[in-house]
Structure 1
Amino acid sequence: MNNNVTSLAKSDIQYLLHPYTDARAHEECGPLVIERGQGIYVYDADGKQYIEGMSGLWSVALGFNNERLIQAAEKQLRTLPFYHVFNHKSHTPGIELAELLINLAPVPMSKVFFTNSGSEANDTAIKLIWYRNNAIGKPEKKKIISRQNAYHGVTIASASLTGLPANQRGFDLPMAGVHHVSCPHFYRYGLPGETEDEYSDRLAKELENKIIVEGPETVAAFIGEPLMGAGGVLLPPKNYWKKIQAVCRKYDVLVIADEVICGFGRTGLMFGSETYDIHPDVLVVSKQLSSSYQPIAAVLINEDIYQDIADQSHALGTFGHGLTATAHPVASAVALENLKIIQEEDLVLHAATKGVHLRSGLNSFASHPLVGEVRGIGLIAAVELVANKETKEKFKKPGVVGRYLAARAQHHGLITRNIADTIAFCPPLITTKEQILDIQYRFELALHETDKWLRR
């Protein structure tokens, strides 16, 4: 074990099993222990400052010490620290948050079901669709189509929807009935001479062929993130969602929009569905819903789906699904205040305008020999690193260069995230132009050091 590991870090190693972490490597290096946060910055146990360039996990919209969110949690804890919404019970924060979400939704929605995380929300979305199809006499219509490189969570169902091998290797996943079509990344998978529109045609045809092969009577839904976050910040090619939705409507396949990362301003509009003209039947939100000050997520369903579920619950005597903390009053109160602040401070427009600065800064590195593609929209962006700029060749050992650069960025006080050899940026919605310039500067230092390291 590294002799510099503190006693607190040693306790972490002894007792805590970390997600998305090589446990054996963690035994050797230990954690970066974060002690406090202030605005877009976090501070480790030694007092070192870092720009949190990933909003924690794509989620802390309002920064790390918003007093109004803290006060909302404290007030609710003193008023009603917990109550449930089972068996005809309810409470004010849950009711008000559901109403606000329905009013904010990018398309008409009817009801909201609350969970604690995006993973649980996507799991719930699948259960709701299965339940509904049983209700309408289509018990065979249960298959779900997702995409390679998609990220939809880590429960058994949601990890099956996820299209990343790391979430499935060793877990006997994906489960039966979940299928994946191609990842829509034009830079990486577009054919020579193919336009973005032609590429979208090809992907829509692939989806249609998949539905036909499986049997339209067996395919219940298509799920997708408006833009793919954990898969590498992948923006859809031109007309992609228009063509995908046309295929889904043709074969009576529901559209689930996973807005866990995109929702509440991240793409420069309130929802990614507005950015890409998606008209979902089911909408899933989390993360920026409460700026992650409290764990909460939500599934929004349209009226047709609700009516069938309501009929089935009446026929069976109950809707047998729920979580102890569904619509938790403290989480709901914090989420309500969070959404009010986003609206009052016009942070959706702020994300759009500051996102222009972020992409402009990152595009200044577009000619660098290690940079293959710079992409983004709103306040989310990525820089894909390549071994050969002309051929787009990947590095022989994927992830090694990306990890090195992310480590050097952290050394210079910038927390970002390498997704293999793509460096992702997702700063809080409150980030200023000056802070974006600082992000650019610290990234430049890391990029320069990575280039020198590779040339040795």
Structure 2
Amino acid sequence: MDGTVSQALDDTALVEADRSTFFHPFTAVADQQANGALVMSQANGSRIVDASGNEFIDGAAGLWCVNVGYGRSEISDAIAAQSRKLPYFHTFNGVSNEPGIRLSEKLLSLAPKSMRRVFYGSSGSDANDTAVKLLWYYNICRGKREKRKIISRDYAYHGVSVASGSLSGIPMVHQNFGLPLDFARHVSRPDLYRDAPSRQCYTEEAYSAYLADELDRMIRAEGADTVAGFVAEPVMGTGGVLPPPRGYFQEIQQVLDRHDVRLVSDEVITGYGRTGTWFASEACGMRPDLILTAKGVTSGYLPLSAVFVGDEIWSVIEDASKDGRVFAHGFTYSGHPTCAAAALANLDIIEREGLVERVAAISEGFRASFDDAIGDCDIVGEIRSAGLMMGVELVADRETKARLPASAKVAGRVAMAARRHGVLVRGLPNSDIVALSPPFIVTQEEIGLLAGGLRAAIDDVTKELRSEGLI
């Protein structure tokens, strides 16, 4: 790769400093103290190099986000230029800046036509928090103060702040924090492999109707006059890389319309091309009132979130403002000009290089490479994909779908083993699922190396499991 490390950094000293100073997210402190950190130093394209000079193919695009790849000078140059001109100013009280305005125009030109405005923050978590408050504000403005409950799905990931963590359905996000708060409710995830009751759900369409009926029953039980919204990822990411069964969102939409409940599409992962369209909502048959995005809007080069506000909600907010009411929500960094400049440069790359179309074009070959490489592995139960998202579910027995013991942490072990073979993948929390989401510029050769590295890692861990008597 360009600019390879000519001399490895003092990795030992860095790891020791990390142990004594750095409080890591989603990390067991004991593991960090025992094993030390993997310290990254530089990256280019789909390759990343650690402080010891070891090179990896990043099969996860960081955390589902480095869509245009590393080392894009266009984005770095835009950041540098904007930071020299106007590095920061707030957007409270009607103050604005040119990059924020240009970005809003650009985003609305790409989004579904029903979207009317864009609200900015810094992360997917704060985008979900903003959605919660928008739904509450919207209902209060139209005289429905009791309409506050928001329904999400088991194993969904919507963030880790107090509100977004309540929407998330992943047990470890709730445990030890006293979450979820009482406004949040959860229904079943759409998991054809694990959860579809076979008698009622002999087709995908039947499963979709079954899940929509479950949602309908929950809204009726809670009282439709108390339910404000239903939030869902078009394709569930951290919850297992679960594409929706056929007809799912069409069935869900009928239930929501019946009960005056708004639909929130969490596209923090899927937005800006990850599934082969600019936004996955329309392709999945969703008609969202709010669309939540982050990650891919800047390809992770700077933190930024963008919440799209649709016709119905915007009209109520705009009308309510006539009495002098203020939408008293926002962040110090809402509409940050340097982050907006990074986003504009990133979106320009995606458009200029046709990367959304490229994802659509290579998706089939991406999937086929992994079917060929790992489809016959003894512990691979199912491979799921949508665009350049993939989930590999690991099992003790392919025929019975028997689970591996949670204590064995098999997905994490596969991810660690993959590092030894020069590839980075993610073991998802609370599951034995390995996820991949490479940059959009990943080459066919790199896809082959990812698939081969994952196969070698699975083979390594399979041998370990056999020696431990777990399979």
TM-score by length of 1: 0.97
CA distance in 1, matches of 2:318, 2:360: 39
2:194 match: secondary structure: helix
Offset, 1:250: 1.1
Q: Which residue of 1 aligns with 2:383?
A: 374
Q: Cα offset for 1:445?
A: 1.1
Match of 1:36 among 42, 48, 53: 42
Instruction: Report deviation, 1:5.
Output: 7.3
What are the residue-to-residue correspondences of 1:240-251 with 2, within 5 Å? 240-251=248-259
Structure 2 Cα separation of the partners of residues 435 and 399 of structure 1: 30
Q: 1:390 aligns with which of 399, 406, 409?
A: 399
Give the equivalent residue in structure 2 for 1:175: 181
Aligned-partner Cα distance in 2 for 1:399–1:9? 26
The corresponding residue for 2:80 is 74
- Residue by residue, what CA displacement relative to the aligned partner does 1:4-46 show, whole Å, maximum 9, x if unpaired? 9711111111111111000112111110000011111110001
Report the AA paired with residue 20 of structure 2.
Answer: Q
Cα distance in 1 between the residues matched to 2:454 and 2:405: 23
2:427 paired with 1:418? yes
8 Å CA contact retained: 1:266, 1:351: yes
Corresponding residue for residue 418 of structure 2:
409
| 2:4 matched residue in structure 1 | none
**1:162 is matched with which residue: 152, 157, 168?**
168
Match of 1:222 in 2: 230
8 Å contact from structure 2 (residues 232, 265) kept in 1: yes
The amino acid that maps onto 2:406 is: K
> Secondary structure of 1:189's partner?
coil
Q: 1:282 aligns with which of 283, 290, 295?
A: 290
Structure 1 residue aligned with 2:6: none
Following the alignment from structure 1 to structure 2, what is the Cα–Cα distance between the partners of residues 315 and 13?
54
Report if aligned partners of 2:11, 2:52 keep a CA contact under 8 Å in 1: no
Query: What is the CA distance between 1:396 and its match in structure 2?
Result: 2.1
Partner of 2:103: 97
Q: Single out whichever of 353-362 and 117-126 deviates more from structure 2.
A: 353-362
Per the alignment, in what secondary structure is the counterpart of residue 42 of structure 1? strand
1-structure distance, mates of 2:94, 2:208: 46
Which moves more between the two structures, 287-296 or 445-454?
445-454
State how far apart, in whole Å, the 1-side matches of 2:109 and 2:407 are: 44
The answer (yes or no) to whether the contact 1:107–1:280 under 8 Å persists in 2 is: no
Q: For residues 306-336 of structure 1, what are the alpha-carbon distances to aligned partners after superposition, in whole Å with 9 as ceiling and x for unaligned?
A: 1222333443542211111101000001101
SS in 1 for 2:401: coil
- How is 1:21-420 mapped onto 2 (pairs within 5 angstroms)? 21-193=27-199, 194-364=202-372, 365-397=374-406, 400-419=409-428, 420=431
Task: Look up the equivalent residue of 1:250 and give its one-letter code.
Answer: R
Deviation at 1:411, TM superposition (A): 1.0
Aligned twin of 1:442: 453
Corresponding residue for residue 442 of structure 2: 431
1:88-107 per-residue CA deviation (whole Å, 9 max, x = no partner) reads 21110000111111111124
Distance in 1 (alpha carbons) for counterparts of 2:307 and 2:327: 15
SS at match of 1:331: helix
Cα contact 1:294–1:334 (8 A) shared by 2: yes
Structure 2 CA distance for aligned equivalents of residues 253 and 161 of structure 1: 16
Aligned-CA RMSD value? 1.3
CA contact (8 A) 1:225 1:258 kept: yes
Q: Is the 8 A contact 1:119 1:158 kept in 2?
A: yes
Cα separation, 2, equivalents of 1:317 and 1:183: 38
Q: 1:386, 1:392 within 8 Å by CA — same for their partners in 2?
A: yes
Question: May I ask how many residue pairs the two structures share in their alignment?
Answer: 453
Q: What is the rounded CA distance, in whole Å, between the counterparts of 1:107 and 1:434 in structure 2?
A: 38
Residues in 1 aligned to 2:195 and 2:312: alpha-carbon distance in whole angstroms: 37
State the secondary structure of the residue aligned to 1:63: coil
| Kept after mapping to 2: 8 A contact 1:41/1:51 | yes
TM-score by length of 2: 0.94
Q: Alpha-carbon deviation of 1:114?
A: 0.2
Percent identical across equivalent pairs?
A: 42
Q: State the secondary structure of the residue aligned to 1:6.
A: helix
Alignment partner of 1:186: what SS? Answer: coil
Letter in 2 for 1:137: G
Q: Secondary structure at the match of 2:193?
A: helix
Q: Matched residues in 2 for 1:42 and 1:25: separation? A: 23
Corresponding residue SS for 2:214? helix
State the alpha-carbon separation in 2 of the partners of residues 283 and 399 from structure 1: 37
Q: C-alpha separation between the residues in 2 aligned to 1:140 and 1:38?
A: 51
Gaps of 5+ in 2: 1-9
* Structure 1 counterpart SS, 2:157: coil
The aligned amino acid for 1:389 is R
Q: CA deviation at 1:123?
A: 0.1
Indicate the SS of the match to 2:281: helix
Distance 2:119 2:337 in 1: 14
Preserved contact between residue 11 and residue 51 of structure 2 (Cα < 8 Å): no
Report the Cα offset of residue 282 of structure 1. Answer: 0.4
**1:81 partner SS:** coil
Structure 2 Cα separation of the partners of residues 156 and 295 of structure 1: 19
Distance 1:147 1:430 in 2: 32
- One-letter amino acid of the counterpart of residue 183, structure 1: R
Deviation of 1:185 (Å) = 0.5
